[in-house]
Amino acid sequence: MRCLYDGGLRHKCGVFGIYNHNEPARLTYLGLYALQHRGQESAGMVTSNGRRLHLAKGMGQVADVFDPMILSRLKGKSAIGHDRYSTAGESGLINCQPLLIDSYWGQIALAHNGNLVNALSLRSELVRQGSAFITTSDTEVILHLIVRSSRKSFHDALVEALLKIRGAFSLLLMTVDEMIAIRDPYGFRPLVLGKLRNSRVIASETCALDLIGAKFIREIQPGEILIINKDGLQSIFPFPEREHAQCIFELIYFARPDSVIFGESVNLYRNCLGRRLARESHVDADIVVPVPDSGVSAALGYASESKIPFDFGLIRNHYVGRTFIEPKQAIRDLGVKVKLNPVRGLIRGKKVVLVDDSIVRATTSRKIVAMIRRAGAKEVHMRISSPPIISPCFYGIDTPTKEELIASSHSVNEIRQFIRADSLNYLSLEGILSCVKNGEKRFCTACFTEKYPIDFPYERFPQLQLFEKQK
């Protein structure tokens, strides 16, 4: 069998929670459904009935993990849930979130979207002090910090723990009587607040609010701890102020186009990228073809700005699962063809502008360009709606190592030669920032610039990976 996810970037997680609802499990199920694009390998949920927390999780997509019987056992009035991308293998299920522990503060469940950069040193310190770790996730570090705190109240202990961790964290925490939403002071990952009649809803993206009919209230602010309990909502801002560093790649690629995050409509932002790209690197061509689905919005913008007709010259097979069985005798580019097939009638004899959101290793791009050529294209001009990715993300995106990122060691022209395109242009850094409000000040662009908002001299490697490498 062959895995399909071999070329791209993957998100780590999506979180969803609802407080004070008659059917929190079923609504969280729907919320996780809407956020499935943020993590498809495992899903989990914890509910509170006011006395105890109840947990269910499993490997697979939301629809595989939960059934009506499981949901009916998740009793209570509140719930938090988690979609996750997780490595397969023995510890898979153990690492599924939310994590649930029992402690001095009673039961605590925690769902995490992001990545801590000092998890390894914190873990070493905790281990020295006698903490026992069950998982290899950085999320467990946060829980241990909370329960180890000597502060007198749970909220103080929580704050103390949060002040020790560094990195990207959009957290959803639940105790028997509270739901707490937390966003790190940089605001790397999105987190939004919604309202559904008397219920409060927290989600990674607004598309989850839309599905359950909840109203979008506002984003959780960078550095905000929002405590939701029977007394209502209370916000505290305990972190020292930081320049915001929201992940620009959420807008470029990860978030669903119908979501609004970081104050931007994702679809409109991507359309703007395409328009800007057309202005920056116009080419005389006959048709603009997106690499579906990620390149669609930008391609529409490109076509609109360049006045070149847009069409779906590549058709995506949406019935494809995560793996498929290959013949032993290789079929050329089967991995790409299982997902994408060109429409010859559209492409034959044409000069094609091919639009995608990014290039990681370039092996997939190379196959797609070849596919377009074999379908009869006269010229293939690749346009990428973001700058070259030159360095890995340590804040919650599963990027390959720097060595594997083709742009870290190759010029644009070399990449063009590798993918065999007639021309290749990336959008400029100014370009991606010009499409958002106050872009320069508010976003993390480290994958394009290597300017990491958080310095980490002693731990220059993604934590999770380290833990798992020890295995």
| 327 forms part of the interface with a copy of itself (CB under 8 A) | yes
Q: For this structure, is 13 an active site residue?
A: yes
Cβ(267)–Cβ(275) below 8 Å: no
Q: Residues near 66 by Cβ (< 8 Å), separated by ≥ 6?
A: 29, 43, 45, 56, 58
The residue within the footprint of a copy of itself, chosen from 265, 363, 423, 465 (CB under 8 A), is 265
Pick the piece of the chain touching a copy of itself (CB under 8 A) from 236-244, 267-275, 437-445, 456-464: 267-275
| 343 forms part of the interface with a copy of itself (CB under 8 A) | yes
Q: Which residues of 444-458 are buried (b: 16+ CB within 10 A; e: fewer)?
A: bbbbbeeebbbeeee
Distances (CA, A) of 428 to 155, 330, 399, 431: 44, 38, 20, 5
218 by Cβ neighbours in 10 Å (0-12 / 13-18 / 19+) ranks as exposed
The residue within the footprint of a copy of itself, chosen from 342, 396, 439, 453 (CB under 8 A), is 342
User: If you search the block for the tokens 């993300």, which residue do you land on?
Assistant: 393
| 307 forms part of the interface with a copy of itself (CB under 8 A) | no
Catalytic residue, chosen from 13, 247, 444, 447, is 13
The residue within the footprint of a copy of itself, chosen from 13, 30, 203, 436 (CB under 8 A), is 30
Question: In angstroms, how far is CA 334 from the centroid of its own chain?
Answer: 27
Residue 327 Cβ, how far from a copy of itself at the closest point, in Å?
4
Q: What angle do CA 386, 387, 390 make, to 5 degrees?
A: 130
Residue 468 to residue 466: CA distance in whole angstroms: 5
User: If you search the block for the tokens 């429409």, which residue do you land on?
Assistant: 343
Window 94-123: residues binding a copy of itself (CB under 8 A)? 94, 99-104, 108
Window 33-72: residues binding a copy of itself (CB under 8 A)? 33-34, 36-37, 40, 52, 54-56, 61-63, 66-68, 71
The residue within the footprint of a copy of itself, chosen from 232, 240, 321, 457 (CB under 8 A), is 321
| 337 forms part of the interface with a copy of itself (CB under 8 A) | yes
| 156 forms part of the interface with a copy of itself (CB under 8 A) | no
Residue 439 to residue 347: CA distance in whole angstroms: 37
Site string for a copy of itself, 186-225 (x = CB under 8 A): ---------------------x--xxxx------------
Residue 143 Cβ, how far from a copy of itself at the closest point, in Å?
5
- By CB under 8 A, the count of residues binding a copy of itself is 100
Residue 155 Cβ, how far from a copy of itself at the closest point, in Å?
17
What residues act catalytically? 13
